[in-house]
Structure 1
């Protein structure tokens, strides 16, 4: 592997690490929303959060709790706005966490190979490959920045609603 390949790979790994850190840190704020919406303490909310083993399940729970009958719109609506935002940001995180990496021998760019089976009507497709070029790197950087803003916004919401912090 040449120095250029190594530099690109190092940049990708650093970005994916930042993405994972920001994602995990931001997703964990759902604990506070669960605690506030269920009127329980953080310890119980942590148990609920950890029992649900996917992001989708955690977001679904928070959204369903927010939509319960009698929930005031001034609580429900901002929570739904934030969970929808997290759902949108989860796509890129999933793309870079549920893959293996290789290198394009011609361009030297890292490639992702999706670790998922795509069922078609009469066949299956394995390992969709995508090149991680400069545009993809910028996309990851943008999502990391968006997660940083989402994190601050969620903390503000948690505090504004008086939920357990």
Structure 2
């Protein structure tokens, strides 16, 4: 008989029996991941308003353009390209770039926790994550990095949630200043010049 390459099936009865003792830890982890996804999604959606102002269109039209682009990277790339030709205030332009860079940093951790497999130990504690990405090194190709979901990692998620909340407030503060800057500015032929 050939040995299986599959992991051992969990003892679900033992996990269910042990789970009440570790529920607080699981609740903390799941709450943080939920908060991260919630804040990240709200921030991504706020970029619709940035796009609306840059394109000088209504919210529905901006949302259609936004949704037509099927990745966050493509959406932010469009916003940054439009900003280069529409925003003449260098400080305002740099502020938008900084917010987008910080949002992208948060995107990495959000993607990590949205696209992984969670390992639960025999007491029901979520103990590790395994990335769903292939990791290629000079000498090997392996499936997904395994990381412990320890206190340091929980702190990292907590900080990412706080950062997403700060970014949200900054985008809300940025929007009226962008609107004022773009209000009466007519595009010129110089807008497309480097």
- Give the TM-score taking structure 2 as reference length: 0.75
Residue from 129, 148, 157 that aligns with 2:165: 148
SS in 1 for 2:142: strand
Looking at structure 2, the residues matched to 109 and 133 of structure 1 have their Cα atoms a distance apart, in angstroms, of: 9
- The answer on 1:82 being equivalent to 2:99 is yes
Contact 1:100 1:115 in 2 (8 A): yes
CA distance in 2, matches of 1:69, 1:162: 11
Q: Does 2:42 correspond to 1:25?
A: yes
SS in 1 for 2:135: strand
The Cα shift of 1:9 comes to 1.9
CA shift for structure 1 position 122: 5.9
The offset of 1:157, in angstroms, is 0.4
Asked if structure 2 preserves the Cα contact closer than 8 Å seen for 1:113 and 1:127, the reply is yes
CA gap 1:119/1:108 in 2 versus in 1, 3 angstroms = same
Residue 47 of structure 1 is aligned with which of 53, 64, 71? 64
Could you list the runs of 5+ residues in structure 2 that have no partner in the other structure? 1-14, 183-194
Number of positions where the alignment pairs a residue of Structure 1 with one of Structure 2: 164
Cα distance in 2 between the residues matched to 1:158 and 1:35: 10
Q: Which residue of 1 aligns with 2:142?
A: 125
Match of 1:60 in 2: 77
Root mean square deviation, CA, Å? 2.3
| Cα deviation digits, residues 14-72 of structure 1 (max 9, x gap) | 11111110000011111011111111111111011111222211211111111227743
Quote the residue 2:192 is aligned against.
Answer: none
Distance in 2 of aligned mates of 1:43 and 1:109: 41
Q: CA deviation at 1:120?
A: 4.3
How far the C-alpha of 1:6 sits from its partner, in A, is 3.0
Runs of 4+ in 1 over 6 A off after TM superposition: none
Q: Distance in 2 between the 1:13 and 1:81 partners?
A: 29
Normalising by structure 1, report the TM-score.
0.87
The whole-number CA distance in structure 2 between the counterparts of 1:28 and 1:70 is 21
Return the alpha-carbon distance in structure 2 between the equivalents of residues 95 and 76 of structure 1. Answer: 29
Distance 2:21 2:156 in 1: 20
Residue aligning to 2:176: 159
Gaps spanning 5+ residues in structure 1: where? none
